Amino acid sequence: MDEPLVRVRGLVKRFPVKGGLLQRTVAHVDAVAGVDLDIPRGQTVGLVGESGCGKTTLGRMLVRLLEPTAGTIRFDGTDVTRLAGKDLLAFRRRAQIIFQDPFGSLDPRAQVGEQIAEGLQIHGIGDRDERRQRVGEMLELVGLKRDHAGRYPHEFSGGQRQRIGIARALILRPDFVVADEPVSALDVSVQAQVLNLLRDLQSELDLTVLFVAHNLSVVEHVADTVAVMYLGRIVEITDRDTLYRRPLHPYTEALLSAIPIPDPDRPRNRRILQGEIPSPLDPPAGCHFHPRCPIAEQGRCDVDRPELLPAPGVPTHLVACHLRTDRAATV
Amino acid sequence: MSTENTPRRPSLAAKAALVEQLETQAGDVGRLYERPTSQWRLAARRFRERRSGMIGLGIVATLLLVALFAPVIAPYEPTEILIGKEDVTRRSPPCVHVLGCSEDQPQHILGVDGNVRDVFSRIVYGSRVSLRLGFFTVTLALVVGTTLGAIAGYRGGWLDNGIMRIMDVVLGFPALLLAIAIVAVLGPGLTNALIAIAIVTLPQYARVVRSQVLALKESDYVAASKALGSSGARVLFRRIIPNALTPLVVLATLGIATAILEAAGLSFLGLGAQPPTPEWGAMLAEERNQVFTSPHLVFFPGLAIMITVLGFNLMGDGLRDALDPTLNA
């Protein structure tokens, strides 16, 4: 295989924390604290984690809505981390984003057709009639009607709005789409429809997708590879089947055990995590997860931060845990 | 009991019945909404349901018609001095034939002022002066204030600080006092009064626009527009400002009332409209010493100011209710 479409190395996003009378910067938060991630062409990488772990920040950096503090993003072989002007515009045509909130992501004062056509207009594609034609095709592609173009967002349901958001993101025929929790705000019955739509569109348009979610069962449905994030870092990443069958990181185990299983007779051995997610303002020393970890070893996990390393014997399975990489090694 | 079920407002029940009938006829609820409804159209619908707002609109519309057709409505020229032309004396009281004033007297329904001019004609022409001044003042303040506020909110940083601190300074002075100071520098006259009032009211617009821009620039649809490649100007003018418009419409309507009132105040002090311009504030000032001997000379111009300000205020309140249903005040 050649280079993955998106290659992220050491990506950091540091936000200043302002306080006091003069709004001075009193501290920093590393929302994303050094992430390496490859997204292969045509695949869907799922990114899961608790709220506040930095997954949305990471997604927004990948489409250059947020400026990375450090690290590099390579897109199709070129470094796009610091692009500006014309080059950035060209990149924007190829990388798009779908938002979580179907109510906040559409301009309430503009007709949906105008909003979908905005990308074409910005990039100077087609004349008025051609654009209208493309918008109509796009609306049909996402399961709406052509004449919906003249309506306003408040006339649509949440699921329909999300379809409009998808149409807006895909009208430029991008190669790469960040789907930032595209179904979390929707009813369960509508979630399935939108997920299926996304999956169909992905194969039809040959998309590469970063699918951000906090719902593991949703990710299982769409992703080829799954990355688990905790407090700004990726703690485990492997292909979907391995992750769901043989998770290595204790945090992943806890997340998986929290998925409800619709079988009343099945014995439940849920592993309930103690405590809250620690404040990223003052992350714990050593392994970020050790204060909540059921198997943490004193004198090691609270001192040494584990690197994301391949589990021995399974080079595609990366995990950031001293004990699990050890155990796998000794077995 | 059937009486309990009888709706109190039959019009609503009738509407509901009609909707139900239409729904069954169409067989598809969606068809009822075939025509796209913009937010503005929805707001117009809500506005029509408020009585006070509609009264305000009625007053304002009437005033506009009066100003437009002033030459048709007014029986005399506003500056026409009637000595030697008619058998009238200075400050003669209102003479209305149907109310018993003798038919051989010339009819002046609001009386005659100290310079023997027809008060009714002056008030009718005064609506032109006041409305024009109100609109121009607000337009000037709106355009400059919106630009400053939008730049401050969108760019942020030192530019934001600089612009908004200047606005705070302007806001720190009592409005009329600052207006007097500005007119004192520029010199008296209607145009200068207009500029002075615009400067004084400008910070309100800048502040409202800035806060709107600050809130809206973090919204997902702005992010979506940026991700598509929108330039800063495009985001600001296509996505942010249209959504920041609602509070501005309300503020501008109420601002017209304030501007008219302040202009009348400046004219009263002799700093606005100069004689013989038929301006309501100036008319008050000319005859203020005759309040007890000829009360009609101050009563009617005062009433004209009051009705105008009331009309714009009612309309502004109605607009606020219609444009922001969450406010429900």
pTM for this entry: 0.79
Q: For A187-217, what is each residue's pLDDT tens digit?
A: 888 888 899 999 899 988 999 999 999 888 8
For residues B291, B297, B302, B307, the Cα torsion angle rounded to the nearest 10 degrees is 140
Q: What average pLDDT does chain B have? A: 86
pLDDT at A62 over 90: yes
Q: How many CB atoms within 10 Å of residue A173?
A: 15
Which chain A positions have a beta carbon within 8 Å of B223's beta carbon?
A: 60, 65, 97, 99, 105
Position A65 scores a pLDDT of 93
Q: Give the distance from residue A97's alpha carbon to the nearest chain B alpha carbon, in angstroms.
A: 7
Query: Does B96 share its domain with B166?
Result: yes
Rg (CA), chain B: 26
**Cβ-defined contact of B242 to A110 (cutoff 8 Å):** yes
Specify the DSSP class assigned to residue A296: P
For the ranges A232-246, A272-286, B6-20, B287-301, the lowest mean pLDDT is seen at B6-20
Q: Is A306 on the interface with B (CB under 8 A)?
A: no
Q: How many CB pairs under 8 A join A and B?
A: 75
Task: Return the percentage of chain A with pLDDT > 70, whole number.
Answer: 96
**DSSP β-bridge partners for residue A97:** A178
Position A256 scores a pLDDT of 86
Q: For B187-235, what is each residue's pLDDT tens digit?
A: 998 999 999 999 999 999 999 999 999 999 989 999 999 999 998 889 9
Expressed in angstroms, the distance from the first to the final Cα of chain B is 35
Confidence of residue A1 (pLDDT cuts 50, 70, 90): low
Which chain B positions have a beta carbon within 8 Å of A101's beta carbon?
A: 220
Position B211 scores a pLDDT of 92
Mean per-residue pLDDT, A37-47: 92
Which residues between 236 and 295 in chain A have a beta carbon less than 8 angstroms from any beta carbon of chain B? none
Contacts with A203 (C-beta within 8 Å, 6 or more apart), sequence order:
none
For the ranges A196-200, A259-263, B63-67, B265-269, the lowest mean pLDDT is seen at A259-263
Mean per-residue pLDDT, A121-148: 91
Distances (CA, A) of A88 to A15, A92, A93, A174, B229: 23, 6, 9, 14, 8
**Domain extents for chain A?**
6-330
HSE value, Cβ hemisphere, 13 Å, CA-based, for A132: 6
Q: How many CB atoms within 10 Å of residue A3?
A: 12
CA-nearest residue of chain A to B39? A109
**DSSP β-bridge partners for residue A234:** A229
Q: Give the distance from residue A58's alpha carbon to the nearest chain B alpha carbon, in angstroms.
A: 15
pLDDT at B67 over 70: yes
pLDDT at A329 over 60: no
Query: Does B191 share its domain with B260?
Result: yes
Q: Is residue B42 part of a domain?
A: no
For the ranges A21-25, A34-38, A117-121, B206-210, the lowest mean pLDDT is seen at A21-25
Query: How far is Cα B251 from Cα B167, in angstroms, rounded to an integer?
Result: 17
pLDDT at A327 over 70: no
Residue type present at position B279:
E
Structural domain count, chain B? 2
Q: For B148-162, what is each residue's pLDDT tens digit?
A: 999 999 998 899 999
Contacts with B262 (C-beta within 8 Å, 6 or more apart), sequence order:
B175, B176, B179, B197, B200
Q: Is B218 on the interface with A (CB under 8 A)?
A: no
- Indicate the helix (H) or strand (E) that contains A64: none
Position A267 scores a pLDDT of 67
Confidence of residue A331 (pLDDT cuts 50, 70, 90): very low
H-only helix segments in chain B: 2-5, 10-26, 29-32, 39-48, 51-68, 70-73, 119-155, 157-172, 175-186, 190-216, 220-227, 232-234, 241-268, 280-286, 296-323
Position A268 scores a pLDDT of 65
- The answer to whether residues B206 and B149 touch, using CB atoms and an 8 Å cutoff, is yes
The range of the structural domain enclosing residue B191 comes to 51-323
**Higher-confidence position of A70 and B12:** A70
Q: For B34-63, what is each residue's pLDDT tens digit?
A: 566 777 788 888 888 888 899 999 999 999
A interface test, pick of B160, B220, B246 with most A CB neighbours within 10 Å: B220
> What is the value of ipTM here, to two decimals?
0.86
CATH number for the domain spanning B319: value is 1.10.3720.10
**Higher-confidence position of B85 and B163:** B163
Position B327 scores a pLDDT of 47
SS3 A232: coil
Q: Is A150 on the interface with B (CB under 8 A)?
A: yes
For the ranges A180-194, A253-267, B278-292, B304-318, the lowest mean pLDDT is seen at A253-267
Expressed in angstroms, the distance from the first to the final Cα of chain A is 31
**Higher-confidence position of A261 and A91:** A91
Query: Does B21 share its domain with B58?
Result: no
Which residues between 97 and 156 in chain B have a beta carbon less than 8 angstroms from any beta carbon of chain A? none
Q: Is B232 on the interface with A (CB under 8 A)?
A: no
**Cβ-defined contact of A118 to B225 (cutoff 8 Å):** yes
Closest by Cα among B138, B78, B80 to B259: B138
Q: Is A101 on the interface with B (CB under 8 A)?
A: yes
The secondary structure of A129-185 as a DSSP string is HHHHHHHHHHHHHTT--GGGGGS-GGGS-HHHHHHHHHHHHHTT--SEEEEESTTTT
Handedness of CA A184, A188, A190, A195 (dihedral sign): positive
Confidence of residue A312 (pLDDT cuts 50, 70, 90): confident
Position B9 scores a pLDDT of 52
SS3 A227: strand
Q: Is B157 on the interface with A (CB under 8 A)?
A: no
CA-nearest residue of chain A to B238? A110
Handedness of CA A248, A251, A254, A256 (dihedral sign): negative
**Cβ-defined contact of B224 to A92 (cutoff 8 Å):** no
Q: For B1-40, what is each residue's pLDDT tens digit?
A: 444 454 455 566 666 666 666 555 554 444 444 566 777 7
- The answer to whether residues A208 and A177 touch, using CB atoms and an 8 Å cutoff, is yes
Q: For A153-188, what is each residue's pLDDT tens digit?
A: 888 888 999 999 999 999 999 999 999 998 888 888
The secondary structure of A171-206 as a DSSP string is TT--SEEEEESTTTTS-HHHHHHHHHHHHHHHHHHT
Q: How many residues does chain A have?
A: 331
SS3 B203: helix
Q: Is residue B110 part of a domain?
A: yes
Position B15 scores a pLDDT of 63
Closest by Cα among B200, B209, B199 to B152: B209
Residue B275: φ, ψ to 5°? -60, 145
Position B30 scores a pLDDT of 47
Query: How far is Cα B170 from Cα B205, in angstroms, rounded to an integer?
Result: 12
Q: Is B237 on the interface with A (CB under 8 A)?
A: no
Q: Which residues of B160-191 are buried (b: 16+ CB within 10 A; e: fewer)?
A: beebbeebeebbeeebbebbbebbeeeebbbe
For the ranges A142-151, A154-163, A281-290, the lowest mean pLDDT is seen at A281-290
pLDDT at B317 over 80: yes
Query: How far is Cα B68 from Cα B55, in angstroms, rounded to an integer?
Result: 20
Residue type present at position A280:
P
- The answer to whether residues A36 and A8 touch, using CB atoms and an 8 Å cutoff, is yes
Query: Does B159 share its domain with B262?
Result: yes
CA angle (A216, A221, A223) in 5-degree steps: 80
Query: How far is Cα A181 from Cα A99, in angstroms, rounded to an integer?
Result: 7
Query: Does B175 share its domain with B240?
Result: yes
Query: Does B149 share its domain with B228?
Result: yes
CATH superfamily of A6-330: P-loop containing nucleotide triphosphate hydrolases (3.40.50.300)
Mean per-residue pLDDT, A28-54: 89
